[in-house]
């Protein structure tokens, strides 16, 4: 007994331990909660003032949080659920690594990561607005800024290197950062730099800090780097003392061509001169030089390039509807220098070019055909519109019988030929393009040549209907040219006959065009004929009589047509024979014909069990009523498509009855009578048999 108890207690103990373990596990899971933790910073390093995004989890759902950068309190906020997705601005701090901390206000829990502040340097020369520039002998103020540098640190002196490779330091400018690692100041070159500092050379002056080039500025001979026709170029060069009261030569070249060369007398070691930009200069770069060069400038000769850039001009060729036109070639002649430029309008209809001050002639070509000439003057940047002899074409296909009716979905084959004005004049034909009239029966083409010959073929169902009226030319100089193409009407003579080829009068003919929209109708006369005038196309023709569809067919009406439609169902002789269970005809029962629950006719069957009708065939319902009954004894729905006379009537069998001796007897009753008679006959026969067999034999 004790052993049995021991064997049972062990598995029970194991089960209890497992249940306890599961309970503890789920209990601990229910206590699991979100942890305050920084997931990521958008960057781990950056400059003061940079924006950094921080993504973190917060223990408290929708709880408040604080942000700290080192000991600086940053703007806090509220979590969305347990998520924090916000940003902060890096505060003013010296370069180095700092703690970024998020704190759950409710629980006090926090998480920390590190961010490194980088040093940014700005050594910017304060220069005049381009194209103005500093000339020789001038001075430049250099703005000095350090942010996020070392705290309270003495940085090296700023230096400037001249185009002649001389390097000069600003000895009195101490660059010392504050507690936040910031510094701001300015220094003037060459005044604040070591003795010998100068702007005597033409070219680039480099700003050097901490042995790195951190900026630069240009010193030139001219007061600007760009000029336009008619502008005055002011020229200044210094350090020419060895040529005092002597002439130097100032030369201006365009490529290998000398545009101008003139002498200038040096006074007090300075060359001062002016030169007016001629109205005949071309757009491009020009080189100005002064010779001879003083010995002090052998390492950086006084030569400078300046530009005559022209003005930014946007030209918009427009058609007569004032729409911009792509692919228009503009030949632009600069009358001042008799030079022609070419530019073509792009997909946006704009042609961009740079032109200098002056008067211009321009000729526009579209597909090498001259479409306009223009004159204009340039005094500055401009947007110019030019009207070209290009028109828009609207093709409209209309009903020839009623021009107010416009025909949709007509296929248009469009091609044109013309004579070019460029390349000696060539007769060109554009490739055929295919269009289709829209729901309003129109097709539109933009920016077409006025003097072209247009061949426009209109077709429906692949059949052209305007072969004798498909050439158009000499369009008018106006915004839109309308080309109207009439779609011809074709006569459709319809003869409607019945199964015996006899005409059907007063039949309704409906012709529905297959593409939809166009419909024509009429009625047949006493001869079964109707005449419809329908637009060129393919039609579904239906014949109705008394609202009943007799027949339908399809006709290609690309020419005048005579169409005979035979309606075999119309006015058919319909004989209906009512028979009993044994197929015997039943006279004097009511036979009713119905179509869609509407009674067409009722008649009594004759002695032969037949009721004769003359009706339009189709799906009919035959109902048979016995005398003095409101409900049919039987009903039959059948499709009648041919003549059914007394030789081939439609047979309706009433299986419930047997016609006997002029009376209708229910089949069950008849069977019972037959059965009784049969039993009687069997009994009689049996009795007769017995009597004959057992009859006594007489001597």
What pLDDT was estimated at residue 7?
Answer: 47
Q: Does 361 have pLDDT greater than 70?
A: yes
What pLDDT was estimated at residue 9?
Answer: 44
Domains of the chain, residue spans: 37-118, 120-220, 232-308, 314-387, 390-487, 489-567, 572-667
pLDDT band at 243 (very low <50, low <70, confident <90, very high): very high
Residue 538 token pair: 């393919």
Residue 570 token pair: 């119309």
Q: Give me the count of residues in the chain.
A: 699
Cβ neighbours for 267, distance < 8 A, ≥ 6 positions apart: 244, 245
pLDDT band at 409 (very low <50, low <70, confident <90, very high): very high
Q: Does 100 have pLDDT greater than 90?
A: yes
Residue 534 token pair: 């329908």
H/E stretch holding 130: none
State the DSSP string of 446-498: EEEESS-EEEEEEEETTEES-TTS-EE----SSSEEEEEEEEPEEEEEEEEEE
662/405: higher pLDDT: 405
Q: Does 508 have pLDDT greater than 60?
A: yes
> From CA 513, how far away is CA 489, in angstroms rounded?
13
Least confident of 86-90, 280-284, 642-646: 642-646
Pairing mode, if any, of strands 110-118 and 96-104? antiparallel
What pLDDT was estimated at residue 178?
Answer: 95
What pLDDT was estimated at residue 534?
Answer: 93
Q: What angle do CA 35, 40, 41 make, to 5 degrees?
A: 135
> From CA 587, how far away is CA 308, in angstroms rounded?
119
Same fold, 37-118 and 314-387: yes
Helices (H) and strands (E) in the chain, counts: 2, 56
What pLDDT was estimated at residue 698?
Answer: 56
Cα 484 from chain centre: 32
Sign of the C-alpha dihedral, residues 2, 4, 5, 6?
Answer: positive
> From CA 10, how far away is CA 593, in angstroms rounded?
93
What pLDDT was estimated at residue 654?
Answer: 86
First to last CA, the chain: 111
> From CA 487, how far away is CA 63, in angstroms rounded?
78
What pLDDT was estimated at residue 696?
Answer: 62
Strand partners, 50: none
User: For residue 545, what are the CA distances in angstroms to 469, 497, 504, 637?
Assistant: 41, 12, 9, 21
pLDDT in tens, 521-573: 999 999 999 999 999 999 999 999 988 899 999 999 999 999 999 998 888 89
- Supply the CATH classification number for the domain 232-308: 2.60.40
- Supply the CATH classification number for the domain 489-567: 2.60.40.1120
- Whether omega for the bond prior to residue 285 falls within 30 degrees of 0, making it cis, is no
Q: How many CA atoms lie within 13 A of 28 on its CB side?
A: 5
Q: Does 10 have pLDDT greater than 90?
A: no
Sheet containing 183-189: give its strands across: 120-126, 140-147, 183-189
pLDDT in tens, 312-329: 999 999 999 999 999 999
632/220: higher pLDDT: 220
Residue indicated by tokens 């502008």 = 231
3-state secondary structure 263-311: EEEEECCEEEEEEECCCCCCCEEEEEEEECCCHHHCCCCCEEEEEECCE
Q: Does 27 have pLDDT greater than 50?
A: no
pLDDT in tens, 135-192: 999 999 999 999 999 999 999 999 999 999 999 999 999 999 999 999 999 999 999 9
> From CA 396, how far away is CA 393, in angstroms rounded?
10
Residue 87 region by backbone torsions, left for phi larger than 0, else alpha for psi between -120 and 50, else beta: beta
Least confident of 11-15, 280-284, 420-424, 444-448: 11-15
Percentage of the chain exceeding pLDDT 70? 93
Q: Does 667 have pLDDT greater than 70?
A: no
> From CA 690, how far away is CA 682, in angstroms rounded?
12
Residue 220 token pair: 């030139």
> From CA 97, how far away is CA 94, in angstroms rounded?
9
> From CA 407, how far away is CA 44, in angstroms rounded?
70
Q: Does 13 have pLDDT greater than 80?
A: no
> From CA 104, how far away is CA 58, in angstroms rounded?
6
Residue 549 token pair: 């569809």
pLDDT band at 2 (very low <50, low <70, confident <90, very high): very low
Q: Does 211 have pLDDT greater than 50?
A: yes
Q: Does 31 have pLDDT greater than 60?
A: no
Q: Where are the alpha helices (DSSP H) in 43-153?
A: none
H/E stretch holding 5: helix 2-30
What pLDDT was estimated at residue 618?
Answer: 84
> From CA 498, how far away is CA 505, in angstroms rounded?
10
Q: Is 231 exposed, middle or buried (0-12, 13-18, 19+ CB in 10 A)?
A: middle
Strand partners, 291: 249
Residue 29 token pair: 């899971």
Strand partners, 117: 46, 96
φ and ψ at residue 658, rounded to 5 degrees: -125, 130
Beta strands in 626-656 (DSSP E): 634-640, 650-653
- Whether omega for the bond prior to residue 131 falls within 30 degrees of 0, making it cis, is yes
Q: Is 280 exposed, middle or buried (0-12, 13-18, 19+ CB in 10 A)?
A: middle
Nearest Cα residue to 410 out of 557, 337, 515, 493: 515
Longest dimension (CA), the chain: 201
pLDDT band at 8 (very low <50, low <70, confident <90, very high): very low
What pLDDT was estimated at residue 586?
Answer: 87
- Domain 572-667 class in CATH: mainly beta
Mean pLDDT across the chain, nearest whole number? 91
> From CA 219, how far away is CA 125, in angstroms rounded?
12
Beta strands in 524-588 (DSSP E): 529-535, 537-545, 548-557, 561-567, 572-579
**DSSP 3-state of 408:** coil
pLDDT band at 518 (very low <50, low <70, confident <90, very high): confident
H/E stretch holding 693: helix 667-693
Task: Tell which CATH classification among 3.40.50.720, 3.40.50.300, 2.40.40.20, 2.60.40.1930 matches the domain 37-118.
Answer: 2.60.40.1930
56/658: higher pLDDT: 56
φ and ψ at residue 466, rounded to 5 degrees: -125, 35
What pLDDT was estimated at residue 656?
Answer: 78
φ and ψ at residue 322, rounded to 5 degrees: 65, 25
* Fold type of domain 314-387: Immunoglobulin-like (2.60.40)
* Fold type of domain 390-487: Immunoglobulin-like (2.60.40)
What pLDDT was estimated at residue 5?
Answer: 40
pLDDT band at 690 (very low <50, low <70, confident <90, very high): confident
pLDDT in tens, 291-312: 999 999 988 889 999 999 999 9
Neighbours of 589 (CB within 10 A): 24
Pairing mode, if any, of strands 618-625 and 634-640? antiparallel
CATH 2.60.40 for the 120-220 domain, yes or no: yes
Q: Does 66 have pLDDT greater than 80?
A: yes
């Amino acid at each position: 007994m004790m052993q049995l108890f021991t064997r049972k207690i062990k598995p029970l103990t194991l089960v209890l331990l497992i249940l306890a373990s599961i309970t503890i596990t789920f209990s601990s899971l229910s206590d699991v909660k979100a942890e305050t933790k920084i997931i990521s910073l958008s960057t781990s390093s950056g400059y003061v003032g940079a924006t950094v995004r921080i993504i973190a989890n917060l223990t408290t759902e929708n709880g408040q949080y604080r942000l700290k950068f080192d000991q600086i309190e940053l703007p806090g906020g509220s979590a969305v659920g347990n998520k924090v997705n916000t940003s902060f601005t890096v505060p003013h701090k010296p370069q180095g690594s700092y703690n970024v901390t998020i704190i759950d206000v409710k629980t006090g829990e926090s998480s920390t990561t590190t961010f490194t502040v980088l040093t940014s340097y700005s050594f910017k020369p304060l220069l005049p607005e381009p194209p103005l520039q500093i000339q020789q002998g001038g001075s430049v103020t250099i703005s000095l800024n350090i942010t996020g540098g070392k705290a309270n640190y003495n940085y090296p002196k700023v230096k400037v290197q001249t185009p002649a490779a001389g390097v000069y330091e600003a000895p009195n400018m101490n660059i010392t950062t504050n507690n936040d690692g910031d510094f701001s100041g300015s220094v003037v070159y060459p005044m604040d730099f070591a003795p010998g500092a100068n702007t005597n050379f033409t070219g680039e002056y480099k700003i050097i800090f901490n042995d790195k080039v951190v900026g630069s500025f240009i010193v030139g001979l001219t007061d600007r780097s760009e000029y336009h026709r008619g502008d005055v170029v002011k020229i200044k060069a210094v350090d020419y003392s060895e040529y005092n009261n002597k002439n130097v030569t100032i030369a201006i070249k365009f490529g290998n061509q000398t545009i101008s060369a003139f002498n200038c007398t040096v006074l007090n070691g300075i060359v001062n001169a002016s030169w007016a930009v001629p109205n005949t200069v071309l757009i491009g770069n020009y080189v100005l030089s002064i010779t001879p060069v003083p010995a002090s400038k052998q390492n950086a000769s006084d030569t400078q390039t300046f530009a005559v850039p022209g003005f930014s001009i946007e030209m918009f060729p427009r058609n007569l509807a004032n729409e911009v036109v792509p692919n228009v070639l503009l030949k632009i002649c600069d009358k001042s220098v008799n030079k022609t430029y070419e530019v073509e309008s792009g997909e946006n209809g704009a042609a961009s070019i740079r032109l200098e001050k002056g008067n211009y002639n321009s000729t526009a070509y579209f597909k090498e055909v001259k479409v306009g000439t223009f004159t204009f003057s340039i005094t500055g940047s401009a947007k110019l519109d030019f009207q070209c002899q290009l028109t828009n074409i609207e093709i409209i296909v209309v009903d020839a019988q009623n021009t107010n009716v416009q025909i949709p979905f007509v296929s248009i084959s469009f091609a044109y030929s013309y004579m070019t004005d460029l390349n000696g004049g060539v007769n060109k034909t554009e490739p055929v393009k295919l269009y289709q009239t829209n729901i309003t029966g129109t097709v539109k083409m933009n920016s077409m040549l006025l003097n072209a010959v247009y061949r426009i073929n209109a077709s429906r169902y692949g059949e052209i209907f305007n072969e004798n009226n498909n050439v158009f030319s000499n369009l008018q100089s106006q915004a839109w040219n309308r080309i109207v193409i009439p779609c011809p009407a074709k006569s459709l003579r319809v003869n409607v006959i019945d199964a015996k080829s006899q005409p059907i009068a007063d039949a309704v003919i409906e012709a529905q065009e297959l593409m939809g929209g166009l419909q024509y109708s009429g009625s047949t006369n006493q001869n079964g004929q109707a005449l419809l005038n329908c637009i060129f196309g393919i039609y579904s023709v239906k014949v109705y009589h008394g609202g009943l569809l007799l027949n339908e067919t399809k006709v290609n009406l690309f020419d005048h047509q005579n169409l005979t439609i035979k309606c075999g169902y119309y006015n058919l002789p319909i004989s209906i024979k009512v028979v009993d269970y044994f197929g015997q005809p039943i006279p004097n029962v009511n036979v009713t014909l119905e179509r869609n629950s509407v009674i067409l006719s009722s008649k009594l069957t004759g002695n032969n069990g037949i009721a004769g009708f003359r009706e339009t065939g189709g799906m009919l319902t035959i109902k048979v009523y016995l005398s003095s009954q409101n409900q049919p004894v039987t009903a039959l729905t059948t499709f009648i498509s041919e003549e059914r006379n007394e030789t081939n009537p439609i047979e309706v069998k009433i299986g419930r009855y047997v016609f006997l001796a002029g009376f209708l007897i229910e089949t069950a009753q008849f069977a019972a009578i037959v059965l009784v008679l049969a039993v009687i006959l069997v009994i009689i026969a049996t009795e007769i048999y017995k009597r004959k067999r057992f009859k006594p034999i007489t001597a």
